[in-house]
């Protein structure tokens, strides 16, 4: 189902789908300070105490009972934003973290991620994008509370200070934030709240415990599966096994007679059984006979897709980087090296399969569940239900993993159709098999690299040529210009000092739907580039880490993390028999990384024993969460590197569940040693980039230990 018109820009689309629901209850101070394009931090409006909820840009809410609530505009899917983002506010507000409550934001334009142009969680942008705006929101609230206290005490505000959720006056007077909130809400917001210097941070940079952990331990945390509405029914959906197929009819005679079944309805994507429990719906669905129009998708197979990709790679690509003269550099070279790298389609496979709840009524829609893209969900639901976007309310739960899959809203469109058809609130739950076979897959890729080496083995030129589908062409085609999808080119241009460089891309539609996947094109391009640099080092007869050091001499942040990873991993020291090391270096999302893997090959199987990571992401908000994200990325990326592959036969995805699409198990997980390298300045993103690095580092270690170069993922010795 088309949910976004191709001729709309992202911003235009968002303007048509923004909603203005409230949700800020009770008297008190509500402060908003999101810095949007063309505005300053001081443009936030303050509501009167009698008009809560009328306040746009609301980030900080202080109740009369001294409760401090922080509005979180990013979906929490395990990456820690329900802790790291409130830390930014608390730092400037002078509130300890144990006094903080966190509320999920509604879908509103002020909560747009200014780095991505939508109320969207992805791209490792949550902390980098919020770092200054949320601190400004906290500082603004602090200054207003101090001003209110100063008025009350008839003293100069400069003689007062804030500490631990209270204002302290020059004579030792004290007033809690809660007692000042109503008066403060009537004051004019300061236009340029002064932010702390990094040296004054008390919370930022500290290993604060996650605020969501207690709820997740005691079971009170709400995920999509936990949603219950009065009168809610459950739906299970049959979708065409062939990619892109649609239903043309069905026979549900047996299903309608089964226990608990209330409705059987045909929607755009399939046939849904709606029942009083999910089990009743799923069991009844097994008896429904559906007629399908399989369409052109039936012709798709892994072999035909691979052949088409190879044919497309012969085209001249759109240039994304050109330095010097590659042809001249190749001609001047003493020798030429060429290699081709292949990457498969991948599933997202979050632990929580797709699910969502919708309650469609004549003049309103309630959406309730896990999503990474609130505004796309709202716009899609409004179009299907025939209501205005402002008549759609969305409540975002915790996400049981996202990895980019929940940016798409196909499952939300489905449940809205079902609820509209049956006239009741409905929760749609996909099975694991549904999730595996109807994903928006990580794109396949074919990358051809060539380089010239001088007599000393150093590169004189490098040519990078990528052929792959474009995700952005489907979701936001207006951003694909002159044949370049900016989310295909990440990590395509190497940081190495090579005098002549040419990088280009060919967009090729394979017919299989693709989506953004954790680390997006970093995962495609880091594998090929870091594998190829290793090949150049081998051709030159040089140590691969020393080779990189030479080429990164003018890149201090890359070089620093490489040196740290080398030292921490014991690079160059003796290893137990049968073990070897491999290295990869990359920058992505404003973060600089080096990773060393230590592996062995036993009985034809690759075993990864140890992974060493050095990460420089500028200013770290919460080092504990940074380490968690690196560990998560290593396991996620290693699963893809060793096992991940989606294949097709006659238009049907062949994988079904974790038995034939395995992930790394606990007994296969390596020891992970992390060194964080704080360098100050703006924070980089860390939720994704390490995912892209484990594959090439392991492949390079395999070569170091066996002499066999693996240029295709997943990594297989035979």
Neighbours of 228 (CB within 10 A): 10
Which helix (H) or strand (E) element contains residue 638?
helix 623-642
Q: What are phi and psi of 301, to 5 degrees?
A: -150, 160
- Same domain for 603 and 563: yes
The predicted pLDDT at position 109 comes to: 85
The predicted pLDDT at position 28 comes to: 52
Contact 367, 393 (CB under 8 A): yes
Contact 24, 53 (CB under 8 A): yes
For residue 421 the two structure tokens come to: 């058809």
Contacts (Cβ under 8 Å, ≥6 apart) of 94? 142, 162, 163, 164, 165
C-alpha distances out from residue 421 to 209, 245, 256, 270, 572, Å:
45, 21, 16, 13, 66
Class of residue 231 by CB neighbours under 10 A (exposed 0-12, middle 13-18, buried 19+): exposed
419: CATH: 3.30.365.10
| Residue 436 resides in a domain | no
| Residue 141 resides in a domain | yes
| Residue 251 resides in a domain | yes
Residues of the chain scoring pLDDT < 70: 1-57
Task: Give the C-alpha separation, 514 to 507, whole Å.
Answer: 12
- Same domain for 668 and 694: yes
| Residue 324 resides in a domain | yes
> Which residue matches tokens 């040089």?
542
- Same domain for 383 and 450: no
The predicted pLDDT at position 37 comes to: 28
Contact 110, 24 (CB under 8 A): no
- Same domain for 556 and 451: yes
Task: Give the C-alpha separation, 478 to 341, whole Å.
Answer: 29
For residue 14 the two structure tokens come to: 């968002």
Owning domain of residue 522: 302-345+441-706
- Same domain for 161 and 45: yes
Contact 693, 593 (CB under 8 A): yes
Count of structural domains within the chain: 3
| Cα 22–chain centre separation | 27
Neighbours of 276 (CB within 10 A): 14
Report the chain's C-alpha Rg in angstroms.
27
Within a 13 Å sphere around the CA of 627, how many CA atoms are in the beta-carbon half? Answer: 16
Query: pTM score, two decimals?
Result: 0.92
For residue 64 the two structure tokens come to: 């009369």
The predicted pLDDT at position 549 comes to: 99
| Residue 413 resides in a domain | yes
- Same domain for 587 and 615: yes
The pairing of strands 365-369 and 233-239 is unpaired
- Same domain for 470 and 397: no
| Residue 715 resides in a domain | no
| Residue 11 resides in a domain | no
| Cα 224–chain centre separation | 18
C-alpha distances out from residue 564 to 14, 519, 531, Å:
43, 23, 20
- Same domain for 189 and 313: no
Task: Give the C-alpha separation, 431 to 369, whole Å.
Answer: 16
- The residue from 364, 398, 429 where one domain ends is 429
| Cα 263–chain centre separation | 36
- Same domain for 127 and 266: no
- Same domain for 326 and 467: yes
| Residue 53 resides in a domain | yes
- Same domain for 152 and 69: yes
- The residue from 429, 462, 486 where one domain ends is 429
Q: Which long-range contacts (CB under 8 A, 24 or more apart) does 321-327 make?
A: 321/492, 321/493, 321/501, 321/502, 321/503, 322/501, 322/502, 322/503, 323/498, 323/499, 323/500, 323/501, 323/502, 324/461, 324/499, 324/500, 324/501, 325/500, 326/461, 326/462, 326/463, 326/500, 326/501, 326/502
- The residue from 429, 458, 488 where one domain ends is 429
- Same domain for 312 and 454: yes
Query: Residue 552 gets which letter from DSSP?
Result: T
């Amino acid at each position: 189902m088309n949910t976004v018109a191709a001729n709309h820009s992202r911003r235009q689309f968002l303007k048509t789908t923004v909603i203005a629901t409230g949700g800020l209850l009770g008297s008190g101070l509500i402060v908003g300070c999101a810095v949007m394009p063309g505005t300053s931090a001081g443009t936030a409006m303050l509501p009167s105490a009698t008009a809560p909820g009328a306040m746009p840009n609301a980030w900080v809410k202080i109740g009369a009972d001294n409760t401090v609530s922080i509005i979180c505009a990013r979906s929490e899917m395990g990456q820690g934003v329900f802790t790291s983002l409130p830390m930014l506010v608390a730092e400037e507000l002078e509130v300890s973290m144990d006094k903080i409550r966190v509320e999920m934001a509604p879908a509103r334009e002020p909560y747009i991620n200014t780095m991505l142009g939508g109320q969207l969680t992805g791209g490792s942008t949550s902390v980098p994008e919020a770092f200054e705006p949320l601190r400004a929101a906290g500082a603004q609230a602090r200054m207003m509370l101090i001003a209110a206290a100063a008025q009350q005490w008839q003293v100069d505000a400069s003689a007062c200070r804030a500490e631990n959720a209270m204002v302290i006056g020059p004579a030792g007077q004290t007033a809690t934030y809660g007692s000042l909130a109503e008066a403060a809400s009537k004051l004019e917001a300061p236009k340029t709240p002064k932010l702390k210097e990094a040296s004054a941070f008390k919370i930022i940079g500290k290993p604060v415990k996650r605020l969501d952990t207690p709820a997740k331990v005691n079971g009170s945390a709400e995920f999509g599966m936990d949603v219950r509405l009065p009168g809610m029914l459950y739906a299970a959906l049959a979708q065409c096994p062939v990619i892109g197929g649609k239903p043309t009819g069905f026979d549900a005679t047996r299903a309608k007679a089964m226990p608990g079944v209330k409705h059987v309805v045909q929607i755009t994507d399939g046939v849904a059984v709606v029942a009083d429990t999910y089990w009743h719906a799923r069991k009844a669905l097994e008896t429904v006979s559906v007629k399908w129009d399989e369409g052109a998708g039936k012709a798709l197979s892994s072999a035909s897709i691979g052949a088409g990709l190879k044919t497309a790679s012969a085209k001249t690509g759109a240039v994304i980087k050109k330095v010097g003269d590659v042809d001249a550099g190749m001609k001047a070279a003493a020798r030429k090296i060429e290699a081709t790298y292949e990457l498969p389609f991948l599933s997202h496979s979050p632990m929580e399969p797709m699910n969502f709840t919708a309650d469609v009524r004549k003049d309103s829609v309630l959406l309730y569940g896990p999503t990474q893209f609130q505004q796309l969900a709202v716009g899609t639901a409004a179009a299907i239900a025939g209501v205005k976007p402002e008549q759609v309310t969305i409540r975002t739960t915790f996400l049981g993993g996202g990895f980019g899959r929940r940016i798409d809203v196909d499952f939300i469109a489905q449940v809205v159709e079902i609820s509209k058809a049956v006239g009741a609130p409905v929760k749609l739950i996909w099975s694991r098999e549904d999730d595996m076979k109807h994903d928006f897959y990580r794109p396949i890729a074919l990358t051809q690299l060539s380089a010239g080496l001088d007599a000393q083995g150093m590169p004189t030129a490098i040519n990078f040529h990528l052929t792959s589908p474009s995700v952005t062409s489907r979701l936001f085609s207006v951003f694909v210009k002159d044949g370049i999808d900016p989310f295909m080119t990440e990590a395509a241009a190497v940081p190495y000092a090579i005098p002549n460089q040419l990088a280009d891309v060919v967009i090729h539609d394979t017919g299989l739907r693709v989506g953004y996947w954790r680390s997006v094109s970093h995962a495609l391009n880091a594998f090929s580039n870091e594998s190829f640099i290793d090949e150049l080092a081998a051709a030159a007869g040089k140590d691969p880490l020393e080779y990189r050091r030479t080429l990164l001499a003018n890149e201090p942040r890359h070089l620093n993390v490489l040196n740290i990873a080398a030292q921490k991993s014991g690079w160059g020291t003796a290893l137990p028999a049968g073990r070897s090391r491999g290295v990869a270096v990359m920058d992505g999302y404003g973060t600089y990384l080096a990773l060393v893997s230590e592996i062995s090959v036993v009985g034809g199987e690759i075993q990864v024993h140890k992974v060493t990571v050095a990460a420089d992401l500028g200013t770290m908000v919460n080092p504990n969460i940074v380490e968690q994200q690196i560990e998560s990325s290593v396991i996620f990326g290693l699963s893809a590197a060793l096992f991940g592959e989606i294949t097709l036969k006659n238009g049907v995805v062949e994988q079904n569940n974790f038995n034939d699409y395995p992930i790394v198990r606990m007994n296969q997980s390596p020891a992970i040693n992390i060194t964080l390298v704080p360098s100050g300045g703006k924070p980089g993103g860390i939720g994704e980039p390490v995912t892209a690095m484990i594959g090439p580092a392991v492949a390079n270690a395999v070569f170091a230990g066996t002499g066999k170069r693996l240029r295709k993922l997943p990594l297989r010795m035979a």
